[in-house]
């Protein structure tokens, strides 16, 4: 009988699986989703697995390992999009950074990045987070305004067309006095810059403050003076002669 030299290694079940997966990962025909699935399996076997540790075990670079470890948070729908070329690994890695926001946001970002071969995926993700922050800030601004003012208009519930900002009608003193008027209101508008909310005070019925209004109107005027006397004489006493 011919003897064949052999080296017998005693391996734990985890080491056996690692060896099998390592061999599979070095196949050139492995699809991206299969690579991610293999990395996911290795991660499930060792909770303390790091890119540095794993790259030594399977003979891949840390960057290669880090990308696929990040992409393990993607649902199957977007992993298969990698195989079809609809989503790049760079885009998938960027999208994975919003996993902390929940599955809905992860899906939204992947949908934004799918099919795009241009632009910076990380910038798209940063813009998405900024939009969420502004939306939250806007909602909080609306809630604060509604708690403080009786009449509040928003981007979803805009004021009447005739509405004017107080600065267009009054000076500072008259604008302050206008806050007691029934036509006084606050507008909170959604914007795409800063904290996402623009708030200002308005008059919903500017005609109430014009000379010649009905007796029920306010005595506020645009220049914070009383209307002219009848006949157009603005003096306090009639001229003699």
CATH architecture of 13-128: Orthogonal Bundle (1.10)
Give the per-residue pLDDT at 6. Answer: 65
Question: Of 7-11, 55-59, 217-221, which one has max mean pLDDT?
Answer: 55-59
Q: Is the pTM of this model over 0.85?
A: no
List, for residues 70-107, the tens digit of each pLDDT value: 999 999 999 999 999 999 999 999 999 999 999 999 99
Average pLDDT, the chain: 85
Give the per-residue pLDDT at 218. Answer: 53
Share of the chain above pLDDT 90, in %: 61
How far from chain centre, in Å, is Cα 13? 45
Please give the Cα distance from 201 to 203 (Å, whole number): 7
Backbone angles phi, psi at 71, to 5 degrees: -75, -10
Domain spans of the chain?
13-128, 144-229
Give the per-residue pLDDT at 220. Answer: 55
Top-confidence residue, 106 or 211:
106
């Amino acid at each position: 009988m011919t003897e064949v030299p052999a080296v017998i290694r005693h391996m734990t079940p985890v080491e056996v699986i690692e060896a099998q997966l390592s061999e599979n990962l070095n196949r050139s025909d492995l699809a991206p989703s299969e690579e991610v699935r293999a990395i996911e399996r290795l991660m499930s076997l060792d909770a303390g697995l790091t890119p540095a540790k794993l790259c030594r075990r399977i003979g891949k670079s840390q960057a290669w390992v880090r990308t696929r470890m990040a992409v393990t948070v993607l649902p199957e729908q977007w992993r298969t999009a990698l195989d079809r070329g609809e989503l790049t690994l760079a885009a998938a890695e960027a999208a994975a950074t919003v996993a902390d926001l929940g599955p809905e946001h992860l899906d939204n970002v992947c949908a934004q990045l799918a099919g795009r071969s241009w632009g910076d995926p990380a910038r798209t993700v940063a813009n998405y987070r900024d939009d969420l922050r502004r939306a939250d800030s806007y909602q909080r601004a609306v809630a604060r305004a509604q708690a403080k003012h009786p009449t509040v208009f928003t981007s979803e519930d805009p004021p009447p067309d005739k509405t004017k900002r107080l600065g267009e009608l009054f000076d500072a003193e008259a604008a302050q006095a206008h806050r007691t008027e029934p036509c006084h209101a606050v507008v909170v508008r959604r914007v795409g810059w800063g904290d996402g909310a623009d708030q200002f005070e308005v008059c919903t019925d500017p005609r109430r403050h014009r000379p010649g209004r009905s007796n029920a109107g306010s005595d506020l005027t645009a220049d914070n003076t009383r209307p002219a006397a009848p006949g157009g004489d603005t003096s306090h006493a009639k001229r003699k002669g």
